Each structure stands twice: as structure tokens, then as C-alpha cells.
Amino acid sequence: MKNSRRKFLKQSLAGTLLMGASPILHAQAAPLAQPKTAKSANPFHLGMAGYTFVNFDLDTTLKTMRRLDMHYLCIKDFHLPLDSNEEQIKAFHETCAAQNVVGYAVGPIYMRSEAEIDRAFEYAKRVGVKLIVGVPNYDLLPYVDKKVKEYDFSYAIHLHGPDMPLYPDADDVWENTKDLDPRIGMCLDIGHDLRNGKDPVADLKKYHTRVFDVHIKDVTDSTKAGRGIELGRGKIDFPAFVKALREVNYQGMCSLEYEKDMKDPFLGIAESIGYFKAVCDIV
């Protein structure tokens, strides 16, 4: 994959150099060249999955996001506890706003009882978001269905690859939710999906009507042995994935969940964001 990445970057550089070539070269190469068609704006937004910053406090997280020109955060409970009251939530939002960051969803939240589901929905209501990224036990899905109808929230089940028995891939989430309320779908974690032997690009195309959130990451292998790595250095075909996002008109978040060097992730986060933005600009 490293060779493919180098080839991609070399091709991009070659295109840039060609655009800056002399008028004579342009005349020889393409005397009837057509005007370049302007690319439409991406329908999706780039954000950050809160788990990326599990080892850092909220201030460090938000200042990092501001330096990276990132403005959307999926809120984890280590930054805003589930039992936070209205005053604490207000202070949280004010702190985010000072760094030009908006919390767009909460989670992932693990739910092993009806009481935990109740708590999560009330938490999301107090926080003021309409999307919960959750991991409920399979037997609790009928209760999740009931709560989604009651609150009119979207509920995205986070898939976890081969590391745990609950929701290993997009196929599993689909099979367990396809007959439930259409507001119950998935957080498509493309790295974990690949690590369970699936194709994230194909799965996005198949299940896009139930994809409410996307965690973007790269991994070193398409097996359980795969580990997190900077975007563009692993096995994910990001140009194909970005094309698929546009093809299905995905309008949600693509949140980077960076899981390499999690106690010192900043350079890797910056490289990954830069790579993803470059792919979006070029593809």
C-alpha cells in the first residue's frame, strides 16, 4: 500500500507541475484542452471522534482541533460525563464555542440495560444533540427502537471489528437493524470493518441509507492483526471511499478516530487530516 500511496502522491505532484508548465508545453500536449470543471463541494463534513483524545483534557482537545482547523466533535463521556447537569453542559458548550468547535453527537456509549439506554437518551437530550453513537446489547434493540420513536433521535451503532462479539462489521449491524425504525443505523468504522474482512467502500454503497456517522481511520492489515496507522499508509482505499461518499450523497460526519500513539498522537492526526483533505481535493 505504501507504493500505491507514493504513486498517488507522485501523480498529484505531476499534475500540479503540469498545470504550471510553459504555454508551449500546453500547446503541444493539449491544443484543444477544455476548461477544468469546478468540483462541487463535499456533501459531508470532517470532524473528530472524541476517543482520539482519551488521554487529554477538553482544553487540550479543543485547542488542538482549532490549530487543525477542525470544528466538529463527537462527545465522549470523559470530556462531558453522562451525569452532567444543565449548568455543566452549558459550560461545556461555551468552552467549545470559544475554540469554534461544535459537539455534533455523543458516544460511543455502551448500553447493557434498559436503565443505561434511558440514561443515554436523557443525556443526549440535555446536551442538545440528535445523534447517539451507541453499542447496545443485541437483546436491547427492541427497547432502543422504542426510545428512538419516543425521542426522535438517530441512533448509530458503532461496529468494532473482530475485537468484540457485538457488531463486528457493517453486515452484522444491517442484519440486526434492517427491520427496526429507519432512524436506527450504524457508525461505519471503516478500519474495523476492514479488519473483519469486509470492504468499507462496498458496505457504504450497500448500506448508505443507514449510515449516520463514519469513523475514518487506516489500518495496517485487513485482519484482526491490523493496527491503526496514519491515513494513507495502510490498507484503506481512500480515493475510492471518497468517491463513494459523493456517489451516495452522504451528508453526515466523517470523524477521524486516530488510534496510533494515543499518548502522543498530534503529528499523526495532522498528517491524517492533511491526507484526507488532499484526497477530497484531488479525487
Residue-wise pLDDT tens digits, 57-80: 999 999 999 999 999 999 999 999
* Residue 33 pLDDT greater than 80, yes or no: no
* Residue 28 pLDDT greater than 50, yes or no: no
Question: CATH says 44-282 is which class?
Answer: alpha beta
In angstroms, the Cα distances linking 41 to 44, 45, 70, 271, 275 are 9, 10, 17, 22, 17
Query: 35-39, 170-174, 176-180, 261-265: which has the minimum mean pLDDT?
Result: 35-39
Q: Which residues contact 198 (CB under 8 A, 6 or more apart)?
A: 169, 170, 171
Q: What is the mean pLDDT of the chain?
A: 89
pLDDT reported for residue 26: 36
Q: CA nearest 131: which of 73, 58, 170?
A: 73
Confidence label for 39 from pLDDT (cuts 50, 70 and 90): low
pTM of the model: 0.85
Confidence label for 41 from pLDDT (cuts 50, 70 and 90): confident
